[in-house]
Amino acid sequence: MTLPAVVVGTGVLARAIVMGAVLLMLSWSLDLGWVQRPVGGLATPGWEAIWILAGVTVVVLALIVPGADVGRVWLVALAVVGWVGPLLAAVPGASPSLRLVSLAVAPVLPAALVALVLYGDLRTTRFPRALVATLVGSAIFARGVFYDPLLDPGCSRYCLPGSGWWTSTDQPRTRLVLAGIVTMSVLALLAGRAISRSPVRPWMAVSALTAAVLALVPWWASSWPSPARADDIVALAVLAVVVPVAIVVGTATLRRSAARRMAESLLAASPLPDQLRELERADDLTPALRLAIDNARLEAAALDQIEELRRSRTRIVQASDAERRRLGRELHDTVQQRVVGALLQLRIAADEEPNAERRACLLTVLDQVGGTLPHLRGLSERSAPPVVESDGLAAAVRQRAADLPGLRVVATEGSEPPPLRTSRAAFIIVDMLLESALPTPSASELGITVTAEAVRICVRGPGVTMTELLLDRVAASDGIVSEDRVDDVNRIEVRLPCGS
Amino acid sequence: MRVVIADDAVLVRAGVVHLLTTSGVDVVAECGDAATLIKAVALEDPDVAVIDIRMPPTYTDEGIIAARHVREIYPRTSVLVLSQYLQPLYARRLMADSPGHTGYLLKEKVHDIEVLLSAMERVVAGSCVVDDSIVKTILGHRDHLGSLASLTDREAEVLALMARGLSNSAMAAELTLSAKTVEMLVSAVFRKLNLDQSSDVNRRVLAVLEALTR
């Protein structure tokens, strides 16, 4: 049963709130002294950002383990960074630049936790992504605004003195803006990952870049000879983070949109097997399952197209055969008749011609014209042999082979003749074999075997060769053709089912 | 000789009529289809009907059907069927019941008035006439045609002449052999082809046709 979207969204929201609260409460209860001491040892002034960057790099490299669910691992890594970062700021004597960095990375913790809790929904559902993104953004923003590491160096994660955010830095607006930048960056990363569905590397690269810039820019600004203005820092962060992220996301979106539009147009024209239509309407399909459904749709469409191509090829062949018979009838009914009529008129003219020379000329013309009749007769009979219909395939084949002295013909017929269409197709194939595949008739043999199921045609002899036209013609009649060599003699065998 | 011509091709029909008329043959009727032919034969009682094998309405084998009908209903009228097909099976169908007074000739031979007149005279005389092109074509292929392969060249010649409806004496004259030799050759042919030996020339033609079309 498909639940209404509002119900699904409400369920997601409720779960996020409950799970997020549980995780944050768990983080409150931890004794952070065993973490803070070694972390504090790393917080040598001037090297804080380097350590953070190194830590991020290690985490990124660790994510390249094959088979890992990269999304979840990355979110865990982000949560750790968001958790450890502020601890560096709480180390006594930490430099202002380190504190500024901690302001940048601190909001990542709640964002990562919320995203981790909702990770399954993020990957399977559609509309709640906007809701999840809103939750993540809100969490990041609230964290960035309300958390001050100097007031809460690690004992309690969430003290919410209202004035905290005014006092922790000389540039409250910077803090606010940096929190906003991180929010946008994380949202963009999540959106880019969702849109591109892809190879992790671009996403990881952008994530690493974001973390590095967020760590380095404030640290670098703090080393300027003159105090950096808040606007400068913000501008640098925006340029260094937001612009590349926007480019990556925009490119992925455009690529994905073009691919999606093409896929959607293909899918719109493609039939879907009945048993998958009901499943397709479900709202809780994973991307993998949806891809499988799309593949099934495309496969069904491809099979339909193949079947249509096969039917089209058969229609073309039947039309060609019908045209061939028409030509044969035309040759017989029209051309031959006219030639015979012309012969008669020439004969009459020759008989009535008093001049001996002219009479001889007319008789010569008569002989030449008369000489065309056997050729016309052969063409007509080969195009539309009436004997196929009147006396059967074997008789037609024997008559056709009579033009090739020396060719041995062996014909075996069953009690029932094959369908006329099969006989005609078989005769055409025999004609093609004798015309193009048999260079030396005198040393060759043609065999025809007719049974209730099929017509078998076998030709063997020196130099017997298959041609592409023969292959196509047999395939168009749903037949099978094989070629082999027996006793140093080539052989071609064709089998036509009697239903063809 | 009184003749009825049946052919749907006007040019051919006019040409045959002209040639026969100038040769002294009395053409009593011209027809363009099988129905008109039957009426003309009933009305005119000709000696021979020269019939094209393909006529309206179906243009398949109306001529053979009409020829057999004429032989059955009007036995005094001989038939000579003209065909553009080199079809021994058509000839066999034509002569199946009564080979006498029946002939099967390729249409391309009609311009040769001597051949046409000869065939007409022979069928009127009661002979069975088969165009020798048919026999030659089949015998040219005889090497792989079962029992025909056992015939010698001379025996094949005798077989071809028998298919044309020649008597023993006519064959002897044609082959410049003695009558005794021809009789021996005919016997050998019948023995090798397992045919019923008959002195009736027309039956011999039918038997030969049956052997050639097996």
Chain A residues in contact with B86 by the CB 8 A cut-off are: 377, 381, 399
- Chain B: give the shortest CA distance to residue A318, in Å: 22
Q: Cβ–Cβ of B15/A341 closer than 8 Å?
A: yes
- The residues, ordered by sequence, that sit 6+ positions from A186 with a Cβ below 8 Å of its Cβ are A108, A111, A136, A137, A140, A210
Strand-pair category, A408-412 with A489-497: unpaired
Search chain A and give the residue with CA nearest B84.
A377
For A176-216, the pLDDT digits (tens) are 555 555 556 555 555 555 544 444 455 555 555 555 555 55
Six-digit token string for B178: 């003695």
Contact status of B111 with chain A (Cβ, < 8 Å): yes
Q: Cβ–Cβ of A405/B141 closer than 8 Å?
A: yes
Contact status of B213 with chain A (Cβ, < 8 Å): yes
- Check pLDDT > 80 for residue A164: no
Instruction: Identify the pLDDT of residue A475.
Output: 86
Q: Cβ–Cβ of B87/A387 closer than 8 Å?
A: yes
Contact status of B57 with chain A (Cβ, < 8 Å): no
Q: What confidence category does residue A365 fall into, taking pLDDT thresholds of 50, 70 and 90?
A: very high
Instruction: Identify the pLDDT of residue B41.
Output: 94
Instruction: Identify the pLDDT of residue B40.
Output: 94
Q: Cβ–Cβ of B84/A391 closer than 8 Å?
A: no
Give the global pTM.
0.51
Please tell me the distance from the alpha carbon of residue B162 to that of residue B208, in angstroms, as a whole number: 7
Of B212, B101, B110, whose CA–CA distance to B156 is shortest? B212
Strand-pair category, A408-412 with A445-450: parallel
Query: Could you tell me the sign of the dihedral formed by the alpha carbons of A119, A120, A123, A124, in that order?
Result: negative
Q: What confidence category does residue A31 fall into, taking pLDDT thresholds of 50, 70 and 90?
A: very low
Contact status of B11 with chain A (Cβ, < 8 Å): yes
Six-digit token string for A350: 């020759």
Axis-axis angle for helices A200-222, A230-237 (nearest 10): 160
Instruction: Identify the pLDDT of residue A271.
Output: 56
Terminal Cα-to-Cα distance of chain A (whole angstroms) = 48
Q: Cβ–Cβ of A399/B86 closer than 8 Å?
A: yes
- Check pLDDT > 60 for residue A36: no
Contact status of B113 with chain A (Cβ, < 8 Å): yes
Q: Cβ–Cβ of A333/B59 closer than 8 Å?
A: yes
- Check pLDDT > 90 for residue B42: yes
Q: Cβ–Cβ of A374/B113 closer than 8 Å?
A: no
Contact status of A184 with chain B (Cβ, < 8 Å): no
Nearest by CB to B111, from A347, A390, A398: name it: A347
Residue A127 backbone phi and psi in degrees, to 5: -65, -35
Please tell me the distance from the alpha carbon of residue A406 to that of residue A444, in angstroms, as a whole number: 8
Do A335 and B6 touch, CB atoms closer than 8 A? Answer: no
Instruction: Identify the pLDDT of residue A387.
Output: 72
Instruction: Identify the pLDDT of residue A152.
Output: 46
- Chain A: give the shortest CA distance to residue B144, in Å: 5
Nearest by CB to A341, from B9, B84, B140: name it: B9
Please tell me the distance from the alpha carbon of residue A88 to that of residue A54, in angstroms, as a whole number: 14
Contact status of B59 with chain A (Cβ, < 8 Å): yes
Do A64 and A205 touch, CB atoms closer than 8 A? Answer: no
- Chain B: give the shortest CA distance to residue A374, in Å: 8
% chain A with pLDDT above 90: 3
Q: Looking at A36-50, A467-481, B43-57, which range is the least confident one?
A: A36-50
**Predicted ipTM > 0.90:** no
- Is A462 in a helix, a strand, or coil? coil
User: What is the mean predicted confidence (pLDDT) over A456-461?
Assistant: 88
Do A128 and A121 touch, CB atoms closer than 8 A? Answer: yes
Contact status of A478 with chain B (Cβ, < 8 Å): no
Contact status of A377 with chain B (Cβ, < 8 Å): yes
For A231-243, the pLDDT digits (tens) are 555 555 555 565 5
Contact status of B74 with chain A (Cβ, < 8 Å): no
Which of B94, B134, B144 has the most A C-beta neighbours within 10 Å, making it the best mutation to test the interface with A?
B144
Search chain B and give the residue with CA nearest A369.
B108
Instruction: Identify the pLDDT of residue A161.
Output: 35
Do A152 and A159 touch, CB atoms closer than 8 A? Answer: yes
Contact status of B32 with chain A (Cβ, < 8 Å): no
User: What is the mean predicted confidence (pLDDT) over A61-84?
Assistant: 62
Do A185 and A241 touch, CB atoms closer than 8 A? Answer: yes
Q: Cβ–Cβ of A344/B141 closer than 8 Å?
A: no
Six-digit token string for A226: 């003159």
Q: Looking at A339-348, B74-83, B127-136, which range is the least confident one?
A: B127-136
Contact status of A336 with chain B (Cβ, < 8 Å): yes
* A237 vs B133, residue with greater confidence: B133
Contact status of A104 with chain B (Cβ, < 8 Å): no
Q: Looking at A270-284, B78-92, B153-167, which range is the least confident one?
A: A270-284
Instruction: Identify the pLDDT of residue A302.
Output: 87
* Sheet strand arrangement including B128-130: B26-31, B2-6, B48-52, B78-83, B102-106, B128-130
- Check pLDDT > 50 for residue B161: yes
Chain A residues in contact with B18 by the CB 8 A cut-off are: 344, 348
Instruction: Identify the pLDDT of residue A196.
Output: 47
- Chain B: give the shortest CA distance to residue A355, in Å: 19
% chain B with pLDDT above 70: 82
β-strand partners of A459: A446, A492
Please tell me the distance from the alpha carbon of residue B188 to that of residue B180, in angstroms, as a whole number: 12
Nearest by CB to A377, from B14, B84, B144: name it: B84
